[in-house]
Amino acid sequence: MAHETFQTVEGQLNWNAPMFKLYEKAKKNGKWDPADIDFSQDQIDFQRMTEDERVTSLPLVASFSAGEEAVTVDILPMVHAMANQGRLEDTMFLTTFMFDEAKHTEMFSRWQKAIGVGEMDLSVFHSDSYKRIFYEALPESMNRLTTDDSPEAVIRAATVYNMVVEGILAESGYYSFRQIFKKANLLPGILMGIDYLNRDEGRHLQFGIYTIQRLIAGNEKNRLIFNDYMDELWPDAYGVIEYLTSLYDIQMAQDWTNSSLEFDSDAMREYAKKQFEIRKRQVNRAKNYSSAAELDERLVKSKDI
Ligand SMILES: [Fe+2]
Ligand SMILES: [Fe+2]
């Protein structure tokens, strides 16, 4: 498709666009390098762990590694869709988004290499629910955007990518990782990496919330598309958490008295349920706006982004 015009030649960037603000934030707050993280203590900790204790970290890492790789390779259709729709500021923000995901993928791969499991096939820890979301729903919804960038297709892509994968699963994963390893004072390197990831993901979530909200503001049909897809994905999203926590329950049922690791599976499951409710509530706040323009206006005033 030929270009008919250029925004920055006819005029300028929209400095007040919510996604331009987020782009500015990403440039400032997204500065970190996975190669700078020291994993030497993690290596020592991992060596000292028992076989059972190691099994508590690997399923989580297996979920994160594949998840970050999936979101790195699956984001392009969203960038393409925003660019085609002339959403320049959104496209600019997404350039930082993709770089973030590449760094997240790098971080987990470096950790696996450092602790000596780089060659281990961790896909045995991917449950059927995990596969339905990361192997199927995510790439299917994202790839649809290459031929269909309708509001419905964009909402569904942002719902599975930003709300379910990032907003529910990644957030619950950080929580579990910190619950288990921060408390036990183990694996400081990967915990530091997770802090960086968490900050980046905050911006990614804001993109997702904004993108869905602007399409459902004043459009009840689109709002239902979002809510229905969230409900459709929830059993598998929760299935991912149930599988991981069931592994901990098995561990706890065994003789675990010599371990410094503690699990509260119920708290982890509750946390995931809470994330589901929070994400739905956040996006549905768009009910208060009659149009995307009104939402933009409110965001400019509120400094929420
Ligand atoms: Fe990520
Ligand atoms: Fe992300």
278 inside domain:
yes
High-pLDDT (> 70) share of the chain, %:
99
**Is-contact 160 137, C-beta < 8 A?**
yes
| Distance between CA atoms of residues 126 and 174, nearest Å | 17
Q: Report CA Rg, the chain.
A: 20
DSSP state of 157: H
Q: Once rounded to an integer, what is the mean pLDDT over residues 82-104? A: 98
Q: What is the pLDDT of residues 42-89, one digit of tens each?
A: 999 999 998 888 878 899 999 999 999 999 999 999 999 999 999 999
CA dihedral 124, 125, 128, 129 (to 10 degrees): -160
Q: Once rounded to an integer, what is the mean pLDDT over residues 34-45? A: 97
Q: How does the average pLDDT of the chain come out, rounded?
A: 95
221 inside domain:
yes
What is the DSSP code string of 221-258? HHHHHHHHHHHHHHHHHHHHHHHHHHHHHHHHHS--TT
Give the number of whichever ligand sits closest to the CA of residue 97: 2
34 inside domain:
no
CA of 4 to the centre of ligand 1 (A): 35
Give the number of whichever ligand sits closest to the CA of residue 65: 1
CA of 253 to the centre of ligand 2 (A): 34
| Distance between CA atoms of residues 258 and 99, nearest Å | 42
CA of 3 to the centre of ligand 2 (A): 30
11 inside domain:
no
CA of 23 to the centre of ligand 2 (A): 14
Whose CA is closest to 154, among 69, 103, 87? 87
**Is-contact 304 207, C-beta < 8 A?**
no
CA of 79 to the centre of ligand 2 (A): 14
Domain of 59 in residue numbering reads as 40-116+126-288
| Distance between CA atoms of residues 95 and 2, nearest Å | 22
In this predicted structure, what is the pLDDT of residue 232? 98
**For tokens 């409110």, what's the residue?**
298
CA of 100 to the centre of ligand 1 (A): 7
Distances (CA, A) of 199 to 46, 196, 274: 26, 5, 19
CA of 95 to the centre of ligand 2 (A): 12
Q: What is the pLDDT of residues 223-237, one digit of tens each?
A: 999 999 999 999 999
CA of 250 to the centre of ligand 1 (A): 29
| Distance between CA atoms of residues 279 and 163, nearest Å | 6
In this predicted structure, what is the pLDDT of residue 255? 64
Helical H runs in the chain? Answer: 7-10, 18-29, 40-48, 51-74, 76-84, 88-115, 128-130, 138-144, 151-158, 171-177, 188-216, 220-253, 265-284, 292-302
**Is-contact 289 298, C-beta < 8 A?**
yes
29 inside domain:
no
Q: Residues, the chain, total?
A: 305
Q: What is the pLDDT of residues 235-283, one digit of tens each?
A: 999 999 999 999 888 877 776 666 778 888 999 999 999 999 999 999 9
Give the number of whichever ligand sits closest to the CA of residue 105: 1
In this predicted structure, what is the pLDDT of residue 99? 98
In this predicted structure, what is the pLDDT of residue 256? 63
Q: What is the pLDDT of residues 110-139, one digit of tens each?
A: 999 999 998 999 999 999 999 999 999 999
C-alpha atoms less than 13 angstroms from C-alpha of 250 in its C-beta half-sphere:
10
15 inside domain:
no
Give the number of whichever ligand sits closest to the CA of residue 161: 2
Please tell me the pTM assigned to this model: 0.96
CA of 13 to the centre of ligand 2 (A): 25
| Distance between CA atoms of residues 215 and 229, nearest Å | 15
In this predicted structure, what is the pLDDT of residue 249? 83
| Distance between CA atoms of residues 34 and 197, nearest Å | 10
Q: Once rounded to an integer, what is the mean pLDDT over residues 193-220? A: 97
Residues with CB in 5 Å of ion ligand 2: 166, 201, 204
Give the number of whichever ligand sits closest to the CA of residue 196: 1
DSSP state of 14: -
Q: Is the pLDDT of residue 297 over 90?
A: yes
| Distance between CA atoms of residues 234 and 137, nearest Å | 12
Structure token digits, residue 189: 């390197």
In this predicted structure, what is the pLDDT of residue 244? 93
Q: What is the pLDDT of residues 133-172, one digit of tens each?
A: 999 999 999 999 999 999 999 999 999 999 999 999 999 9
What CATH number is attached to the domain comprising 138? 1.10.620.20
CA of 204 to the centre of ligand 2 (A): 5
Neighbours of 277 (CB within 10 A): 10
CA of 99 to the centre of ligand 2 (A): 10
C-alpha atoms less than 13 angstroms from C-alpha of 268 in its C-beta half-sphere:
28
Q: Is the pLDDT of residue 35 over 80?
A: yes
Whose CA is closest to 219, among 145, 290, 121? 290
Whose CA is closest to 66, among 16, 17, 108? 108
Give the number of whichever ligand sits closest to the CA of residue 104: 1
Question: How many structural domains are present in the chain?
Answer: 1
Q: What is the pLDDT of residues 168-187, one digit of tens each?
A: 999 999 999 999 999 899 99
